[in-house]
Amino acid sequence: MTVSDRKPTAAGDESGAPSTGDRPLCFVLMPFGRKAEAGGGVLDFDAVYQTLIKPAIVEAGLQPLRADEEQTGGIIHTPMFERLILCEYAVADLTTANANVYYELGVRHAVRPRTTVLVFAQATRLPFDLGPMRGMPYELDASGSPANCAQTRAQLTTLLREARQPSTDSPIFQLVEGMQPPDISRLKTDVFRSRVLYSTRLKDELARGRREGVEAIRAVKQQLGPIRDVEAGVVIDLFLSFRSVKAWGEMIAMVDEMAEPVARTVMVREQLGLALNRAGQGERAELVLLQLLKERGPSSETFGILGRVYKDRWEGAQQAGQAALAAGLLDKAIDAYVKGFQTDWRDAYPGVNAVTLMEVRESPDERRHELIAVVTYSVRRRVASGEPDYWDYATLLELAVLGRNEPEARSALGHALAALREGWEAETTVRNLRLISAARSRRNEDLPWTEELTRALDESAHRLPGGRS
């Protein structure tokens, strides 16, 4: 849920437009994050929203509201329908022919005869039914972000201002004679606006709670009432806020409180598997993830979490002195990580974990030499094509350690520390680096600089939310 970040004055904002609470709402229908294109490139939809669509909406005197429920697995439920029906304006990005966006656009056109603006990246081939409709193409640069932003923003602002005129843009109302839009009462729209602002406030409180700790997040949860009645965007934000402070029991309990459509999404079930594993319920986590793979097919994320389950069980068997069981679990972890990387070569997470565990086997797996090169290429392409995060640099750090490349490792560490957000992220990397060091020590292959870098990362983890105190 996103609102304008312009600071309002007593009479409005610095542009002279009404304050955001008084502006007409403009709902944005679009994919999220970075999506691969058929030609091999990447399209950064978050950059399209932040640098093109959102500023144009604000300049047109409207309040942007992004459809962030898609992050929960494309759930269409009451709050989503309310946005589609009750927002006075809408912008739909048709690039990549995203199924959720097209469904939402169909709902919008069925109930709103006007005030919907279409945009799409140049070279997008629109389906036949949408081909005749007016829309605004925008250019992309090599990184998948909008090019010529100032000019394109101005064009979109103009289209949004023109949408205020009584001109029908819905093909249903254009072609079906006598079609009448539903009667939407002012009371209903006022209640909707209040709910939008309430959800935005809750998200701000959750962001503050992630900094302050689990009790602050519990306090937000308590004020929400029954979780199954809360809109999906807030529920998922709360769910992941507990993850950020490692409140695994709270995450597990929340799944039973969610509405069934939310609890059944892939992301919630994957994160349930992660939480169960961190809470010491590895066998139950394994069942959840295997069932998800059976129902939804291979996924790099699901296989990655499953690999972590086997990895933790391997370490437990090692500590218990169960050598034969430990060896079998280590091979299962490697297999899960390899399958995850093979499912999506662009996802370096399962790849780097696979080569790390291949390194720590009693007899190192020779496949690791070939995989290190492929995983390194994968993460470097991600770094070069957009805005890398902590995990990208942490992966490069781990790969450099595996490749015994001290200069590359030091460089990657610096970038990783600068991008570090939560303590548990660094702890995960520290754990892997110490696994590598321990295995090499047993083989008399110590690299002293590895421990120096590991210690620096570990110290940073202690100072951040979610890290050990």
Residue by residue, DSSP assigns 71-140 as GGTS---HHHHHHHHH-SEEEEE-GGG-HHHHHHHHHHHHH-SS-EEEEEETT----GGGTTS--EEE-B
For the chain, counts of helices (H) and of strands (E)? 21, 7
Greater confidence (107 vs 189) lies with 107
Same domain, 95 and 144: yes
Same domain, 44 and 172: yes
Greater confidence (130 vs 252) lies with 252
Binning pLDDT at 50, 70 and 90, where does residue 423 land? confident
Region of poorest pLDDT, from 109-123, 273-287, 320-334: 109-123
Question: Is the pLDDT score of 276 beyond 70?
Answer: yes
Distance CA 284, CA 274 (A): 10
Q: Read off the DSSP letter of residue 12.
A: S
pLDDT at 167: 78
Question: Is the pLDDT score of 413 beyond 90?
Answer: yes
In the three-class reduction of DSSP (H, G, I as helix; E, B as strand; rest coil), residue 463 is classed as coil
In the three-class reduction of DSSP (H, G, I as helix; E, B as strand; rest coil), residue 146 is classed as strand
Instruction: Kindly state the tokens that stand for 427.
Output: 């702890």
Q: Read off the DSSP letter of residue 96.
A: G
Greater confidence (466 vs 153) lies with 153
Same domain, 189 and 102: no
Whether pTM > 0.75 for this model: the answer is no
Greater confidence (239 vs 87) lies with 239
CATH number for the domain spanning 56: value is 3.40.50
Same domain, 77 and 96: yes
Greater confidence (206 vs 186) lies with 206
Q: What is the mean pLDDT of residues 143-165?
A: 89
Question: Is the pLDDT score of 12 beyond 50?
Answer: no
Same domain, 39 and 111: yes
Same domain, 34 and 172: yes
- Going by C-alpha positions, the residue among 262, 263, 259, 352 that lies closest to residue 300 is 352
Domain that residue 215 falls in: 185-260
pLDDT at 259: 84
CB 379 within 8 A of CB 348: yes
pLDDT at 266: 86
Report how many domains make up the chain: 2
Question: Is the pLDDT score of 263 beyond 80?
Answer: yes
Instruction: Kindly state the tokens that stand for 59.
Output: 């300049």
In the three-class reduction of DSSP (H, G, I as helix; E, B as strand; rest coil), residue 116 is classed as strand
Is 312 within a domain?
A: no
CB atoms within 10 A of CB 363: 5
Question: Is the pLDDT score of 347 beyond 70?
Answer: yes
Region of poorest pLDDT, from 104-113, 277-286, 329-338, 365-374: 104-113
Is 278 within a domain?
A: no
